[in-house]
Amino acid sequence: MAVTIDDVARTAGVSTATVSRALRGLPHVHERTRAVVHRTASDLGYVPSKSAATLATGRTRTVGVLTPHVAKWWFAQAIEALEDELRASGYDLLLLAVPRAAAGRRPAFDPEQLRQRVDAVAVLSVPLTGGELDGLRRLHLPLAFLGASVSGAMSVRVDDVGVGRTATEHLLALGHIRIGHIGGDPEEAWNVHAFVDRRAGWMSALRAAGLSPDHDLDVSGALTVAGGRAAMSGLLALEQPPTAVFVASDEMAFGALTAVRDAGLRTPQDVSVVGVDDHELAELFGLTTVRQSVEEQGRAAARMLLSTLAGTPAHSNEHLLLPTTLLQRVTTGPGARAVLPDR
């Protein structure tokens, strides 16, 4: 059916070994022969069989990408960047969505299924159980984590504690005292690390300013617009609502802004809101946020994996921390209540 390397060899009048060498750019092939082989290969429309090559070499030229979501902003961005970088180096991207939680607890993911299917694995903020992580390690494949770091594997992420601290310090600098926090619901089993860290940053900044975090102002919600909205509603309903809130993701922050509007209040006069991500719609909302470049994280992770695959073992245990930037827009300000002494 399909044209094989033998067909090319035969019509080019050389052996299959020569075709293989010529086409893969290996040395020890006369330029004339190489040219002939290239020509007849393209004349015949020869496409090497990937599976045959894999079977022969053990290498798949495929990278597995493990993700809990594909349509969520952060993940989609990361996947796009990974795909672009991998394809540029001739690698295929095998997309593997880790099954959703059926009833709270998702079926254990079996890393063994990746054996002999990929040369490396990128893990996108998937909260793996210890067993799953061990299984992944047992594969002895280059492993890169995005948005989390795990000992003994490469990782690319931002300093999430720093993110929380930056956002909170911004609010403190504006004169706010009652600063709330809306984090990701720990029940939702993804990206936990990031949200735990961001919360820690919030607390740390408050403490450094001599304030003690108020339990009532520390809430969490689903990592969605609706979750942020509900959480903010709760905060605003408090007897002493916060004058500023650090929301641990832009999507939740959008919801929080809606809750502010619903309550008949305004930002930043009545309450300041700062998010994290710089989601593409953040500018639309005028949302002040701590920007992270997911695209760069994705590309960096891909390059780490690729260079490890290329035999540069330098990265094999590297933990890369990418910078973040506070983007001040219009949802944060001194605020009327913050300026007036309220004691």
Q: Which residue from 53, 150, 309, 326 is in contact with DNA, where contact means CB under 7 A? A: 53
Q: Does 93 bind its own copies (CB under 8 A)?
A: yes
Binder of residue 24, out of DNA, its own copies, none (CB less than 5 to 8 A by kind)? DNA
Q: What is the DSSP string of 2-63?
A: ---HHHHHHHHTS-HHHHHHHHTT-SS--HHHHHHHHHHHHHHT----HHHHHHHHS---EE
- Distance from the first to the final alpha carbon of the chain: 85
Strand partners, 246: 181, 274
Structural tokens at position 282: 């953040």
Q: Which does 17 bind (CB under 5 to 8 A by kind): its own copies, DNA, none?
A: DNA
What residue has token string 């092939």?
29
CA dist list (Å): 62 to 217, 256, 317: 46, 41, 21
Count of residues interacting with its own copies (CB under 8 A):
44
Question: Is residue 27 within the footprint of DNA (CB under 7 A)?
Answer: yes
Residue 264 sits in the site that holds its own copies (CB under 8 A): no
Compute the least distance from the CB of residue 314 to DNA, in Å. Answer: 23
Report the candidate in 18, 70, 63 with the shortest Cα–Cα distance to residue 40.
Answer: 18
Window contacting DNA (CB under 7 A); options: 48-56, 199-207, 237-245, 330-338:
48-56
62 counts as binding DNA under rule CB under 7 A: no
Q: How far apart are CA 152 and CA 106, in angstroms?
A: 25
The helix-helix angle for 225-236 and 250-262 (nearest 10°) equals 50
255 belongs to the binding site for its own copies (CB under 8 A): yes
Q: Does 265 bind DNA (CB under 7 A)?
A: no
Of 195, 116, 113, 213, the closest CA to residue 158 belongs to: 195
Q: Contacting its own copies (CB under 8 A), which of 60, 288, 289, 332? A: 60
- By CB under 8 A, name the binding residues for its own copies: 1-2, 45, 47, 49-52, 54-55, 58, 60, 69-71, 73, 76-77, 79-80, 83-84, 87, 92-97, 99, 112-113, 115-117, 224-225, 254-255, 258, 280-281, 283-284
- By CB under 7 A, name the binding residues for DNA: 1-2, 4-6, 13-18, 20-21, 23-24, 27-30, 32-34, 46-49, 52-53, 55-58
